[in-house]
Amino acid sequence: MSATTLASALRRLGAGTLDSVERLGFAARFSVAVLTHLPAAFRRLQLTLREIYFSGVLSLVIILVSGLFVGMVLALQGYDVLSRYGANESLGILVALSLVRELGPVVAGLLFASRAGSAVTAEIGLMKTTEQLSAMEMMAVDPLARVVAPRFVGGIVSMPLLAALFSTLGVFGAYLVGVRLIGIDSGAFWGNMQAAVDFRYDIFNGFIKSVVFGVAVSAIAVFEGYNARPTAEGVSTATTRTVVASSLSILALDFVLTVFMFRGVGV
Amino acid sequence: MNRTTLDLWVGIFVAIGIGALLFLSLKVGNLLSVSSTPGYQLSAAFDNIGGLKLRAPVKAAGVVVGRVEQIRLDPQTYQAVVSMKIDRGFQFTRDTIASILTSGLLGEVYIGLDSGGDTQMLADGARIPKTQSAMVLEKLIGQFMFDKAASGGNGAAAPAGGAPASRSGASPPAASGVPGTAISAGGGK
């Protein structure tokens, strides 16, 4: 009896491994196909604009509001600790560097994955379930060019802009709390910030991060949608998978990028 | 949603997104006044650079004129060679003194440049000949305690009195008034 359970466990293990290797292979083939269809997204600019509207413009509210609140909370918490060392005026540095380097790209990326990435997956998955993708192929319309590429490009365009808006609103929120509410000198707040934040090291690296996160989230979202099992349950699994996988890959990529970008500076 | 409204919204979105990037670059990063302006290289050799880090500011009269680009150890002289990038708008004389300073007690470490009266200027890639190393706090305290013990006169008590003297370091002016008593009080404990 134990031999049969062992055998079935082995069989499951083997099937699972083969499954994930097969998925990986499909993902690689799919990425190449999407990359070759990228020019299509620019030929059909109207479709891409529509996707920028759905993933970018409609995410504006959540990004702006969370950025504002993250900045305000950072200012309150930062002030609490900094005032113990009499370094109140460094609040601008603390807030600006943490937002521009880390929190802006990462938190905006996480919000973008759950707000826009999940929607893209659900949409493509449902198109597959209702056989719209097959119908397109039947009409000699390539779904990769018509459906996938515009969504991929739309996500890549939206994400850096959203991250920049998040950081900006965060700095503004910190200004409101730090200068208006607590009463730190406005000149010291901006002056220390400007002296500490470097364009090349901090802002440009943060921008690169947000572009990378945009590519990762969009790629995962369109892949999961295209790869979803064509059932109601399959679409819901794919949507969940998009959020989990893109959040994890944002955090992992952030670590890798930070190691390469900021290694020689602080340490 | 018809086509023009959609275009309008996307346009607004892209515009404020680029606006945010500009705000970050100009207001937060202060791109216009410092950094990424073309500059020239200067280097200086120090006996001890203390806590100097890459990208630390280089200041003249308190104004940031450049940044530290590279720090390495010269294997022949065992001196730290610091390369810095100075903004092109600022020229320094050949007898400039480069010193390593700290802003405040716990503040950042930076390089201060004090120009002299020479008429010739340092060219690109030049080495600043006169330097002043960082003041290491431990050495200063050690020196202070050594001087105290020496001026205290009780030669035999000097090494024993050293450690307790640092405990009463909060009131050095009062202790210096009666140096003998301060040390003997510490030593007698």
The 10s digit of each residue's pLDDT in B86-138 is: 888 888 888 899 999 887 766 778 899 998 888 888 888 888 888 888 887 78
Q: Do B22 and B59 lie in a common domain? A: no
Two tokens at B44?
A: 């200086």
Test A265 with B54 for CB contact under 8 angstroms.
Answer: yes
- Return the HEC string of B118-146: CCCECCCCEEECEEECCCCHHHHHHHHHH
What backbone phi and psi angles, to 5 degrees, belong to B84? -130, 150
Tell me: ipTM over 0.90: no
Test B10 with A49 for CB contact under 8 angstroms.
Answer: yes
Q: Do B104 and B152 lie in a common domain? A: no
The confidence score (pLDDT) of residue B1 equals 63
Which residue in A57, A198, A207 is closest to B13 by CB distance? A57
Q: Do B167 and B123 lie in a common domain? A: no
Q: Do B44 and B91 lie in a common domain? A: yes
Q: Which among B105, B66, B110 is positioned nearest to B89, based on CA atoms? A: B66
Two tokens at A185?
A: 């000198």
The confidence score (pLDDT) of residue B186 equals 38
As a whole number of angstroms, the distance between CA B12 and CA B16 comes to 6
The confidence score (pLDDT) of residue B132 equals 87
pTM summary value = 0.71
Q: Do B123 and B142 lie in a common domain? A: no
Classify the C-alpha dihedral A32-A33-A36-A42 as positive or negative: negative
A27, amino acid identity? A
Q: Do B106 and B125 lie in a common domain? A: yes
Two tokens at A61?
A: 């509210």
Q: Which among A78, A62, A67 is positioned nearest to A105, based on CA atoms? A: A67
The confidence score (pLDDT) of residue B178 equals 42
Q: Do B79 and B154 lie in a common domain? A: no
Cross-strand partners of B84: B42, B68
Q: Do B141 and B170 lie in a common domain? A: yes
Of B84, B99, B132, the last residue of a domain is: B132
What mean pLDDT do residues A6-19 have?
Answer: 92
Domain range enclosing B2: 1-33
Three-state DSSP at B71 gives strand
Q: Which among A266, A246, A243 is positioned nearest to A254, based on CA atoms? A: A246
As a whole number of angstroms, the distance between CA B118 and CA B116 comes to 6
Classify the C-alpha dihedral A104-A105-A107-A108 as positive or negative: positive
Of the ranges A252-256, B120-124, B128-132, B178-182, which one carries the lowest mean pLDDT score?
Answer: B178-182
Of B108, B132, B156, the last residue of a domain is: B132
Q: Which positions ≥6 away from B4 have C-beta within 8 Å? A: none
The confidence score (pLDDT) of residue B57 equals 83
For residue A231, pLDDT beyond 70:
yes
> How far is the alpha carbon of A21 from chain B, nearest alpha carbon, in Å?
39
The confidence score (pLDDT) of residue B33 equals 55
As a whole number of angstroms, the distance between CA B25 and CA B30 comes to 6
Chain A nearest-CA residue for B104: A87
**Cα-based distances in Å from A146 to A38, A51, A127, B78, B116:** 10, 12, 12, 65, 69
Per-residue pLDDT band for B153 (boundaries 50, 70, 90) equals: low
Q: Do B28 and B104 lie in a common domain? A: no
What mean pLDDT do residues B150-169 have?
Answer: 52
> How far is the alpha carbon of A264 from chain B, nearest alpha carbon, in Å?
8
* Number of structural domains chain B divides into: 3
Candidates A197, A205, A262: best to mutate against B (most CBs of B within 10 A) is A197
More confident residue, B110 or B32: B110
What mean pLDDT do residues A202-224 have?
Answer: 94
The confidence score (pLDDT) of residue B176 equals 42
As a whole number of angstroms, the distance between CA A134 and CA A82 comes to 60
Tell me, what DSSP letter sits at residue A56?
T
Q: Do B119 and B44 lie in a common domain? A: yes
Q: Which among A217, A200, A199 is positioned nearest to A254, based on CA atoms? A: A217
Tally of CB atoms within 10 A around B18: 13
Contacts of A171 in chain B (CB under 8 A): 24, 28
More confident residue, A164 or B158: A164
What mean pLDDT do residues A52-57 have?
Answer: 92
As a whole number of angstroms, the distance between CA A46 and CA A51 comes to 9
As a whole number of angstroms, the distance between CA A105 and CA A98 comes to 10
The confidence score (pLDDT) of residue B118 equals 84
> How far is the alpha carbon of B33 from chain A, nearest alpha carbon, in Å?
10
Chain length of chain A: 267
For residue B172, pLDDT beyond 50:
no
Q: Do B153 and B103 lie in a common domain? A: no
Q: Do B24 and B44 lie in a common domain? A: no
